[in-house]
Amino acid sequence: MAKKIEKICCIGAGYVGGPTMSVVAKQCPEIEITIVDMNEARIAAWNDCDLNNLPVYEPGLAEIVAEARGRNLFFSTDVDKAIAEADMIFISVNTPTKTYGKGKGMAADLKFIELCARQIAAVAKTDKIVVEKSTLPVRTAAALKSILDNTGNGVNFHILSNPEFLAEGTAVEDLLNPDRVLIGGENAEAIQALVDIYAQWVPEERILTTNLWSSELSKLTANAFLAQRVSSINSISELCEKTGANVDEVSKAIGLDSRIGPKFLKASVGFGGSCFQKDILNLVYIARSYNLHAVADYWDQVILMNDHQKHRFADNIIQTLYNTVSGKKIAFLGWAFKKDTNDTRESAAIYVADYLLSEEAEITIYDPKVSAERIYADLDYLNTRSSAENRRLVRVVSDPYEATSEAHAIAVLTEWDEFKGYDWARIKQEMKRPSFIFDGRKLLNRAQLEEIGFNYYAIGE
Ligand SMILES: NC(=O)C1=CN([C@@H]2O[C@H](COP(=O)(O)OP(=O)(O)OC[C@H]3O[C@@H](n4cnc5c(N)ncnc54)[C@H](O)[C@@H]3O)[C@@H](O)[C@H]2O)C=CC1
Ligand SMILES: O=C(O)[C@H]1O[C@H](OP(=O)(O)OP(=O)(O)OC[C@H]2O[C@@H](n3ccc(=O)[nH]c3=O)[C@H](O)[C@@H]2O)[C@H](O)[C@@H](O)[C@@H]1O
């Protein structure tokens, strides 16, 4: 019989910790869950009475937080207390690409993970099951175990790997109906304790148990395969543009082959998000560290193709606008890395904007969920020009018609549904002529827009 878990602590109240634990709290009302974070502002936002102020926007999430918060779901900055009281501790902190030292620009930065392990070791006075929820390099559990066992108070720690496969924008749905839940571990009782939690709402045949290393490596592999599909179809999109083929037609034709399948074949301006690039870079780094250079080079191509796609989208705008965008107003519709999220990490929009700004374009941005502050922070982070210069060249507005008015061109960077329903005749009326649209998401209706008089360009057509 596995130990029944009564109290869970989750370290990290971000895009994974927040939604994941909210859903566990909803499905397991008898378990008390405390999500802790050292970021006070983030915890305050999770505790905000106004659910519109939650730090993560996900369809359906606010309702779940409203149901569970204060009942069996708590958000706190008191990390030590939550660790001390919990039977099971999820580590859901960020594991970004290293920006310094050995492995800079490639390896995952594990300093936040190590800090968690040291804090758990220092505080724990009772046995704990420690669950890796963050995405980690294969064999990280060995390092965690070494820290916990050597610096702890003599209590027993069992480590499990339980990577998260949710996608942003559909996090709640993905958590409620996961394709699979993956649990890697060595201790049968600890594994069973976590299986028992998920089994409250996930069919048992979708709960897969493996050894620790397969679980850790499966997460990196899943993201690499998904990103590879996007880069593969994006590579074909360029060939379509040269040959008269239409990439949507090609996607459909190949996707109907049951061995290939229809998902993740949508050509785009390039994949973004906090994880695809970081996880592939990490995979490449790990392969190189084992001297597997052919393996590393193979996966590296996925990133190179993605960079190429963003670059050529921006280049096409410049070329089409008579080889100069200097002083021209370009309207960006969308800044988030995909629809239905306020997350902008590694969004293709950032890189397209940066490229156009270096050509002295003046960009006006509208995104239904992303704040101006976030957009400026994204651009400043690249360090290409001064913060003052970014603010001089970029305007962020809350009305799409204001963004597009007097613009030479519109670039669609995120596939927000609302863009489809705009009054495109009015937009055309208020733009400079000729009026160009560059659809990086293949979202809009070519026939309708050409009828109105737009010059419409879409990826892969
Ligand atoms: N964002 C996503 O959709 C997915 C992310 N992942 C993985 O999950 C992990 C977390 O990702 P996100 O939630 O997006 O990151 P995030 O950056 O949104 O959240 C991480 C949180 O951890 C907190 N934190 C860091 N160190 C801490 C410490 N020592 N004590 C207390 N709090 C600490 C930070 O303040 C931050 O609020 C990453 O490894 C990521 O690769 C996995 C699946 C999906
Ligand atoms: O580890 C993670 O962080 C997560 O990464 C991705 O989820 P996410 O990045 O949230 O979103 P996706 O739907 O995968 O989209 C990623 C990027 O690829 C782009 N994309 C996706 C699919 C497609 O066909 N074409 C395409 O360009 C999206 O627009 C977006 O920019 C994976 O889908 C999740 O399973 C994983 O848990």
Task: Give the pLDDT confidence of 348-375 residue by residue, as tens digits.
Answer: 999 999 999 999 999 999 999 999 999 9
The residues near 70 (Cβ < 8 Å, ≥ 6 apart) are: none
Is residue 345 within 6 Å of ligand 2 at its C-beta? no
pLDDT classification of 398: cutoffs 50, 70, 90: very high
Task: Give the pLDDT confidence of 222-258 residue by residue, as tens digits.
Answer: 999 999 999 999 999 999 999 999 999 999 999 999 9
Calculate the alpha carbon distances from 25 to 8, 53, 71, 248 in Å.
Answer: 10, 20, 9, 41
Query: Does residue 305 carry a pLDDT above 90?
Result: yes
- Domain residue extents for the chain: 7-210, 304-458
Distance 310 CA to ligand 1 centre (A): 26
CB-based contact 285:98 (threshold 8 Å): no
Strand ranges (E), 266-422: 329-333, 362-366, 394-396, 409-412
Of the listed ligands, the closest to the CA of 278 is: 1
Is residue 165 within 6 Å of ligand 2 at its C-beta? yes
383: left (phi over 0), alpha (psi -120 to 50) or beta: left
Is residue 117 within 6 Å of ligand 1 at its C-beta? no
Of the listed ligands, the closest to the CA of 232 is: 2
Tokens of 94: 């960020």
Distance 185 CA to ligand 1 centre (A): 21
Out of 9, 116, 240, 275, pick the active-site residue.
275
ipTM of the modeled complex = 0.98
Average pLDDT on 181-192 reads 98
Average pLDDT on 311-321 reads 98
Strand ranges (E), 206-343: 207-210, 329-333
Tokens of 285: 């780094």
Percent of the chain with pLDDT over 90: 98
Task: Give the pLDDT confidence of 191-232 residue by residue, as tens digits.
Answer: 999 999 999 999 999 999 999 999 999 999 999 999 999 999
Of the listed ligands, the closest to the CA of 443 is: 2
Q: What is the pLDDT of residue 361?
A: 98
Annotated binding site for substrate: 164-168, 219-223, 259, 266-272, 337-338, 441
Query: Does residue 4 carry a pLDDT above 70?
Result: yes
Distance 55 CA to ligand 1 centre (A): 13
For residue 37, the 8-state DSSP code is: -
Of the listed ligands, the closest to the CA of 335 is: 2
Buried b (16+ CB within 10 A) or exposed e, 176-206: eebeebbbbbeeeebbbbbbbbbeeebeeee
For residue 30, the 8-state DSSP code is: T
Answer whether 7-210 and 304-458 agree in fold: yes
Q: Which CATH superfamily, name and number, covers 304-458? A: NAD(P)-binding Rossmann-like Domain (3.40.50.720)
Protein residue whose Cα sits closest to atom 14 of ligand 2: 167
Calculate the alpha carbon distances from 244 to 229, 247, 250, 461 in Å.
Answer: 22, 9, 11, 7
Mutate to test the pocket of ligand 1, among 15, 131, 342 (most ligand atoms within 8 A of CB): 15
Q: What is the CATH code of the structural domain delimited by 7-210?
A: 3.40.50.720
Tokens of 430: 């208020």
Mutate to test the pocket of ligand 2, among 252, 337, 443 (most ligand atoms within 8 A of CB): 337
Going by C-alpha positions, the residue among 337, 293, 370 that lies closest to residue 167 is 337
Annotated binding site for NAD(+): 12-17, 37, 42, 93-97, 134-135, 168, 275-278, 345
Tokens of 78: 């008191």
Number of alpha helices (DSSP H) and beta strands (DSSP E) in the chain: 18, 14
Cα(157)–Cα(169) distance, integer angstroms: 34
Protein residue whose Cα sits closest to atom 26 of ligand 1: 112
Q: What is the pLDDT of residue 280?
A: 98
Is residue 17 within 6 Å of ligand 1 at its C-beta? yes
Cα(336)–Cα(416) distance, integer angstroms: 9
Annotated binding site: 12-17, 37, 42, 93-97, 134-135, 164-168, 219-223, 259, 266-272, 275-278, 337-338, 345, 441
Percent of the chain with pLDDT over 70: 100
Mark whether 275 is an active-site residue. Answer: yes
Question: What predicted TM-score, i.e. pTM, was given to this entire model?
Answer: 0.96
Task: Give the pLDDT confidence of 147-167 residue by residue, as tens digits.
Answer: 999 988 889 999 999 999 999
Going by C-alpha positions, the residue among 368, 356, 341 that lies closest to residue 436 is 356
Distance 135 CA to ligand 1 centre (A): 9
Is residue 164 within 6 Å of ligand 1 at its C-beta? yes
Average pLDDT on 330-350 reads 96
Query: Does residue 2 carry a pLDDT above 90?
Result: no
Q: What is the pLDDT of residue 357?
A: 98
Q: What is the pLDDT of residue 3?
A: 81
Is residue 9 within 6 Å of ligand 1 at its C-beta? no
Query: Does residue 401 carry a pLDDT above 70?
Result: yes
Strand ranges (E), 44-186: 73-76, 88-91, 128-132, 157-161, 181-185
Task: Give the pLDDT confidence of 61-115 residue by residue, as tens digits.
Answer: 999 999 999 999 999 999 999 999 999 999 999 999 999 999 999 999 999 999 9
Distance 438 CA to ligand 1 centre (A): 34
Calculate the alpha carbon distances from 310 to 203, 408, 439, 458 in Å.
Answer: 40, 20, 12, 13
- Atom of ligand 2 at shortest distance to CA of 15? 3
pLDDT classification of 452: cutoffs 50, 70, 90: very high
Is residue 93 within 6 Å of ligand 1 at its C-beta? yes
Q: What is the pLDDT of residue 134?
A: 98
Task: Give the pLDDT confidence of 127-142 residue by residue, as tens digits.
Answer: 999 999 999 999 999 9
Q: What is the pLDDT of residue 1?
A: 67
